[in-house]
A = this chain, B = another copy of it.
């Protein structure tokens, strides 16, 4: 478990094994509560001192999750955070793809086009879940959704919310979804809104790619003053709030 957890810090290892790491009391609590398969947990003595630590250990045992106890030094070698809470768990990345979205009569699909900050992406997945978005899809160039910091920032949201990676080709196979791209030069977002929208949001510094722009039926924006732009997680959250059903 220790070797596997260390290995899973690399994206390539996550892609090869199909496993990911959830770190910290809150995130592991959400994982244990979720329908995802949990392969094992790594625990250090710090967990016993953490609030809800004993309850979490009991929950892991009750679900039959194998627990490996290690010392603080070994734990730190696998942990992503600087002040880990003495617990991480290895889960199975769920099989999800665009096929599960066919037949949807209404809703919003969120597409992340080369968003690179793990904290931003995790926050966006958390908000997308909160507003009932049908799926959050990460295009190539976006940080891996199963990066430990993304998972932590999402507060467990993508254990239940359909977040997954896909290509433009896969998105093109989804018919009947008007594509809107968000950028600072777009038309101010205003109702009425269609029953179905696929919303594409872009990179922190560069905005949406030319590929996204050329495929968009509309480019929309949030009217702002005094500053050049909003943080991408903030802008995406406001757009999802405005477009909520």
Tell me the minimal C-beta distance from A73 to chain B in angstroms.
Answer: 23
B residues less than 8 Å from A156 (CB atoms): 227
Residue A231 lies at the interface, judged by CB distance under 8 Å to chain B: yes
Q: Which of B129, B155, B226, B242 has a CB less than 8 Å from the CB of A132?
A: B226
Q: Which residue of the partner chain B has the closest CB to A242?
A: B241
CB of B230 within 8 A of CB of A127, answer yes
Tell me the minimal C-beta distance from A136 to chain B in angstroms.
Answer: 12
Q: How large is the interface on A (under 10, 10 to 19, 20 to 34, 35 or more residues)?
A: 20 to 34
Provided the pairs A222-B241, A241-B222, A241-B241 are in contact, do residues A123 and B234 lie with their beta carbons within 8 angstroms?
yes
CB of A227 within 8 A of CB of B155, answer yes
CB of B224 within 8 A of CB of A130, answer yes
CB of B127 within 8 A of CB of A226, answer no
Provided the pairs A119-B119, A241-B241 are in contact, do residues A161 and B226 lie with their beta carbons within 8 angstroms?
yes
Q: Which of B157, B226, B233 has a CB less than 8 Å from the CB of A160?
A: B226
B residues less than 8 Å from A241 (CB atoms): 222, 238, 241-242
0/1 interface trace, chain A 218-236, chain B, CB 8 Å (1 if under): 0000101111111101100
Q: List 23 A-B contacts (CB under 8 A).
A: A123-B233, A123-B234, A126-B230, A126-B231, A126-B234, A127-B234, A129-B226, A129-B227, A130-B230, A131-B224, A131-B225, A132-B226, A153-B231, A155-B228, A155-B229, A156-B227, A157-B226, A157-B227, A231-B233, A233-B233, A237-B238, A238-B241, A241-B242
Which A positions have Cβ atoms within 8 angstroms of B?
119, 123, 126-127, 129-132, 153, 155-157, 160-161, 222, 224-231, 233-234, 237-238, 241-242
